[in-house]
């Protein structure tokens, strides 16, 4: 599942496959801005069936937190 | 083509998708599409788009009212403002109305939703009649193709006012691309058709008309349906011609008398039914119609004929013929879309039902020229200072989340913010902004550092929700007034370029400040802010 999420993130951020890793953060990934973040939450829900409440979603700023929140 | 996508909801993802392949205007937020169009000073005006797409989310625009009169009034006002903003040399596409939301699904009156949407359609049609450069973006077709459930996405809507699913956003972007591509190419004018095995199955003249298959079922139906597509294309402005190797009398016998012929002799502007070379016949057609051959499309089942025409008149477009007869209609539809379709999309004429629909055809008296200034005035924007202490959470969020309207992009912790408030050498300002469409809440914050009779605006942050409405002018006036009362004589301001804050790169020029390199008085402030000398642009305003 972790890998699926990372590949989905590549796709949503329009990056070459393999760009997003467990160390990626909003800070070190130019394409991961607030807009891309919202789209990511939508795609996680519609494509992988993973949903995160809005209040929590806006607090997440890196892949580690995302995995932790999703318990994957 | 320089393209702009404007909306009252967040369509930035579409802009982002389009940017991969074309020049697109970077909008400053959403919800101010009319302001941006009306304002001659706006960044949109300086971008000078050639084509503008307006995606109007109808429920937002009408504030979810379900009263026909009221909705008609709101839409009419929008349309009036839009019409005042039109420029002759720009092409506009406005999306069809579609009311999405649970509130519309629980209406008792089953015609209400449709009526409300139709008010919008009628308005657009009326505007389109008056302005040939205003067209309708076929938004509903996209929703119907994908289904409401897949098209809209509630979670991204609540998180960031993005109403569409990832898949829908891609569909919208590709539809925009198609339209732009069509705008660039000149549509074809003439469709030249062969007869045997093209308009009907079989060869004319073998027996009587019974020698060809054209009927209501089976293979004959494939050809009959193809003719229906061609007839509608003709009614939509495509000129039809026949270039076919037959005895003319045999062919005309079928065209005139076959009971299943949909196309009639008078539907063809030109007929070359003889045994001559088809390329020569096409050139003759061009002469008769007085059109150049590059506006011709040639449709024939025979590969050798197609190759001959391609070789002898390369300007003529020669599409492939389908392998299977059941694909005839679809192939012709594709030919229409690719070569003939103009971007003029007319809504089917709907019956003028009730008087409210007529009202919606915006009362001519209401049409008044609206300037950007009038428009802004009409919005009734209120900028009210609010207590900093009572809004610390929101202020912290504005400092740390705002990227575009942010002059120096300083991020702060809660502890730092608490210290700013206590510090007598600092003054924070926060503002609540509202207009007649609603309250945007606390959306603007400024931090100033005071040094004797000087003040430095070190941070100025505003949510993109209210950008483009000249809110910054009102804010700065209020801040300057307050600073004057505090005995401040000189106000400095800083700008530090970031990856994302281009929208405020010349903010202080616009606000009447001058660039300065005389920064002795504020050197210490820069040190406090951790900005090295020369890194930031400094501005000053006296008195």
Chain A residue nearest residue B156, CA to CA: A42
Which residues of chain A make contact with B165, given a CB cutoff of 8 A?
42, 46
Residues B434 and B305 in one domain: no
Q: Is A42 on the interface with B (CB under 8 A)?
A: yes
Q: Is A34 on the interface with B (CB under 8 A)?
A: yes
Residue B119: inside a domain: yes
Per-residue confidence at B493, pLDDT binned at 50, 70, 90? very high
Closest CA to A46 of B181, B462, B168: B168
SS3 B81: helix
B470: enclosing H helix or E strand: none
Q: What is the C-alpha to C-alpha distance for residues A38 and A65, in angstroms, rounded to an integer?
A: 15
Task: Give the strand order in the sheet containing B239-244.
Answer: B268-273, B239-244, B190-193, B296-299
pLDDT of residue B469: 82
Q: Is A51 on the interface with B (CB under 8 A)?
A: yes
Residue B372: inside a domain: no
pLDDT of residue B353: 26
User: ∠A16-A22-A26 over CA atoms, to 5°?
Assistant: 75
For B392-400, the CB contacts below 8 A with 24+ separation are B392/B417, B392/B418, B392/B421, B394/B430, B394/B441, B394/B442, B395/B428, B395/B430, B395/B442, B395/B445, B398/B442, B398/B443, B398/B444, B398/B445, B398/B461, B398/B462, B398/B463, B399/B445, B399/B459, B399/B461
Residues B129 and B221 in one domain: no
How large is the ipTM? Answer: 0.79
Residues B390 and B362 in one domain: no
Between chains, do A54 and B155 touch, taking CB under 8 Å as contact?
A: yes
Q: Is B16 on the interface with A (CB under 8 A)?
A: yes
- What is the CATH number for B360? 3.40.50.1110
Residue B348: inside a domain: no
State yes or no: pLDDT of B25 exceeds 70.
yes
Could you say which residues from 379 to 438 on chain B have a Cβ atom under 8 Å away from some Cβ of chain A?
Answer: 401, 403
Residues B202 and B330 in one domain: yes
Residues B201 and B264 in one domain: yes
Q: Is A43 on the interface with B (CB under 8 A)?
A: yes
Between chains, do A54 and B158 touch, taking CB under 8 Å as contact?
A: yes
State yes or no: pLDDT of B209 exceeds 70.
no
According to DSSP, residue B15 is labeled H
- The residues, ordered by sequence, that sit 6+ positions from B62 with a Cβ below 8 Å of its Cβ are B70, B71, B74, B75, B116
Residue B373: inside a domain: no
Residue B95: inside a domain: yes
Residue B170: inside a domain: yes
Over residues B273-295, the pLDDT tens digits come to: 998 889 999 998 988 888 889 99
State yes or no: pLDDT of B348 exceeds 50.
no
Chain A residue nearest residue B153, CA to CA: A42
Residues B81 and B152 in one domain: yes
Q: Is B153 on the interface with A (CB under 8 A)?
A: yes
Which residues of chain A make contact with B401, given a CB cutoff of 8 A?
34
Between chains, do A45 and B403 touch, taking CB under 8 Å as contact?
A: no
Which residues of chain B make contact with A34, given a CB cutoff of 8 A?
160, 401, 403
State yes or no: pLDDT of B354 exceeds 60.
no
Residues B210 and B168 in one domain: no
SS3 B88: coil
3-state secondary structure B95-127: ECCCCCCHHHHCCCCCCHHHHHHHHHHHHHHHH
Chain B residue nearest residue A45, CA to CA: B155
pLDDT of residue B206: 64
Percent of chain B with pLDDT over 90: 59
Distance from CA of B159 to the nearest CA of A (A): 6
pLDDT of residue B363: 36
Which residues of chain B make contact with A53, given a CB cutoff of 8 A?
none
Q: Is B500 on the interface with A (CB under 8 A)?
A: yes
pLDDT of residue B358: 37
Residues B181 and B195 in one domain: no
Q: Is B162 on the interface with A (CB under 8 A)?
A: yes
pLDDT of residue B531: 84
Walk along chain A (72 residues) and give the pLDDT tens digit of each residue.
Answer: 999 999 999 999 989 999 999 999 988 888 898 888 988 998 898 889 898 888 888 888 899 999 999 888
Residue B536: inside a domain: yes
Q: What mean pLDDT is reported for chain B?
A: 88
State yes or no: pLDDT of B345 exceeds 60.
no
Residues B409 and B483 in one domain: yes
SS3 B439: strand
pLDDT of residue B367: 43
Chain A residue nearest residue B11, CA to CA: A35
- The residues, ordered by sequence, that sit 6+ positions from B33 with a Cβ below 8 Å of its Cβ are B6, B7, B8, B54, B56
From the candidate CATH numbers 1.10.1200.10, 3.30.1180.10, 1.10.10.10, 3.90.226.10, the one assigned to the domain spanning A2-70 = 1.10.1200.10
Distance from CA of B418 to the nearest CA of A (A): 21
Model pTM score: 0.64
Q: Is A12 on the interface with B (CB under 8 A)?
A: yes
Between chains, do A38 and B159 touch, taking CB under 8 Å as contact?
A: yes
The residue to which tokens 């720009």 are assigned: B90
pLDDT of residue B263: 96
Per-residue confidence at B258, pLDDT binned at 50, 70, 90? very high
Domain count, chain B: 3
Residues B57 and B167 in one domain: yes
3-state helix, strand, coil in chain B (%, to 5): 45, 20, 35
Chain A residue nearest residue B20, CA to CA: A14
Beta strands, E only, B249-348: 268-273, 296-299
Closest CA to B34 of B12, B64, B2, B4: B4
Distance from CA of A22 to the nearest CA of B (A): 23
Q: What is the mean pLDDT of residues B518-522?
A: 81
Range of the domain at B229: 190-340
Q: What is the C-alpha to C-alpha distance for residues B464 and B466, in angstroms, rounded to an integer?
A: 5
pLDDT of residue A51: 85
Q: What is the C-alpha to C-alpha distance for residues B216 and B237, in angstroms, rounded to an integer?
A: 27
pLDDT of residue B370: 64
Q: What is the mean pLDDT of residues B228-251?
A: 91
Residues B274 and B398 in one domain: no
pLDDT of residue B207: 59
Of A30, A33, A41, the CB nearest to B156: A41
Between chains, do A35 and B160 touch, taking CB under 8 Å as contact?
A: yes
Residues B163 and B248 in one domain: no
Asked if residues B246 and B204 have their Cβ atoms less than 8 Å apart, the reply is: yes
State yes or no: pLDDT of B228 exceeds 90.
yes
- What is the CATH number for B521? 3.40.630.30
Q: What is the mean pLDDT of residues B111-136?
A: 90
Residue B251: inside a domain: yes
Chain B residue nearest residue A56, CA to CA: B159
Q: What is the mean pLDDT of residues B229-257?
A: 91
Over residues B407-459, the pLDDT tens digits come to: 999 999 989 999 999 999 999 999 999 887 778 889 999 999 998 889 999 99
Does B528 or B507 have the greater pLDDT score? Answer: B507
State yes or no: pLDDT of B375 exceeds 80.
no
Q: Is B520 on the interface with A (CB under 8 A)?
A: no
Q: Is B13 on the interface with A (CB under 8 A)?
A: yes
State yes or no: pLDDT of B352 exceeds 80.
no
Interface test with A, best of B11, B29, B160, B169 (most A CBs within 10 A): B160
Per-residue confidence at B466, pLDDT binned at 50, 70, 90? confident
pLDDT of residue B427: 94
């Amino acid at each position: 599942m972790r890998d699926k999420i990372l590949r989905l993130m590549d796709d949503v951020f329009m990056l070459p496959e393999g760009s997003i890793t467990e160390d990626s953060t909003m800070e070190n990934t130019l394409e991961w801005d607030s807009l891309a973040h919202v789209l990511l939450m939508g795609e996680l829900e519609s494509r992988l069936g993973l949903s995160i409440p809005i209040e929590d979603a806006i607090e997440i700023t890196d892949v580690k937190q995302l995995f932790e929140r999703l318990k994957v | 083509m320089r393209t702009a996508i404007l909306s009252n909801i967040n369509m930035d993802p579409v802009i982002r998708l389009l940017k991969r392949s074309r020049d697109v205007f970077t909008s400053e937020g959403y919800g101010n599409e009319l302001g941006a169009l009306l304002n001659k000073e706006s960044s949109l005006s300086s971008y000078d788009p050639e084509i503008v797409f307006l995606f109007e989310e109808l429920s937002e625009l009408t504030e979810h009212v379900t009263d026909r009169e009221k909705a008609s009034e709101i839409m009419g006002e929008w349309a009036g403002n839009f019409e005042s903003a039109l420029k002759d040399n720009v092409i506009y596409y406005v999306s069809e109305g579609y009311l999405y939301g649970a509130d519309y699904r629980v209406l008792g009156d089953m015609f209400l939703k449709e009526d409300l949407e139709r008010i919008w359609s009628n308005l657009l049609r009326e505007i389109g009649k008056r302005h040939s450069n205003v067209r309708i973006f076929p938004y509903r077709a996209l929703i119907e193709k994908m289904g409401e459930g897949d098209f809209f996405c509630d979670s991204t809507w609540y998180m960031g006012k993005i109403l569409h699913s990832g898949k829908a956003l891609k569909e919208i972007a590709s539809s925009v691309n198609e339209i732009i591509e069509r705008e660039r190419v000149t549509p074809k004018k003439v469709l030249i058709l062969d007869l045997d095995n093209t308009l009907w199955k079989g060869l004319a003249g073998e027996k009587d008309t019974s020698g060809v298959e054209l009927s209501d079922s089976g293979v004959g139906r494939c050809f009959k349906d193809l003719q229906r597509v061609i007839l509608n294309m003709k009614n939509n402005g495509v000129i039809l011609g026949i270039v076919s190797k037959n005895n003319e009398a045999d062919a005309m016998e079928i065209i005139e008398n076959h009971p299943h012929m949909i196309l009639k002799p008078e539907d063809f502007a030109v007929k070359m039914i003889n045994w001559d070379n088809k390329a020569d016949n096409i050139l003759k057609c061009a002469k008769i119609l007085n059109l150049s051959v590059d506006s011709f499309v040639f449709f024939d089942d025979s590969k050798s004929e197609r190759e001959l025409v391609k070789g002898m008149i390369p300007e003529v477009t020669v599409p492939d013929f389908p392998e299977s007869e059941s694909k005839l209609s679809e192939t012709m539809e594709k030919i229409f879309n690719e070569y003939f379709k103009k971007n003029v999309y007319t809504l089917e004429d709907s019956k003028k039902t009730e008087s409210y629909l007529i009202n919606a055809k915006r009362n001519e008296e209401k049409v008044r020229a609206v300037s950007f200034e009038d428009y802004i005035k009409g919005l009734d924007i209120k900028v009210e200072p609010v207590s900093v202490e009572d809004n610390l959470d929101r202020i912290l969020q504005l400092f740390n989340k705002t990227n575009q309207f942010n002059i120096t992009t300083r991020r702060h912790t809660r502890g730092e913010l608490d210290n700013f408030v206590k510090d007598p050498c600092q003054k924070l300002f926060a503002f609540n902004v509202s207009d007649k469409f609603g309250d945007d809440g606390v959306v603007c914050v400024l931090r100033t550092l005071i040094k004797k009779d000087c003040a430095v605006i070190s941070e100025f942050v505003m949510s993109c929700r209210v950008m483009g409405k000249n809110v910054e002018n009102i804010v700065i006036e209020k801040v300057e007034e307050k600073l004057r009362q505090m005995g401040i004589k000189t106000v400095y301001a800083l700008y530090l370029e970031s990856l994302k804050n281009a929208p405020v790169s010349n903010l202080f020029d616009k606000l009447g400040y001058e660039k300065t390199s005389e920064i002795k008085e504020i050197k210490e402030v820069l040190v406090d802010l951790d900005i090295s000398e020369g890194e930031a642009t400094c501005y000053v305003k006296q008195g």
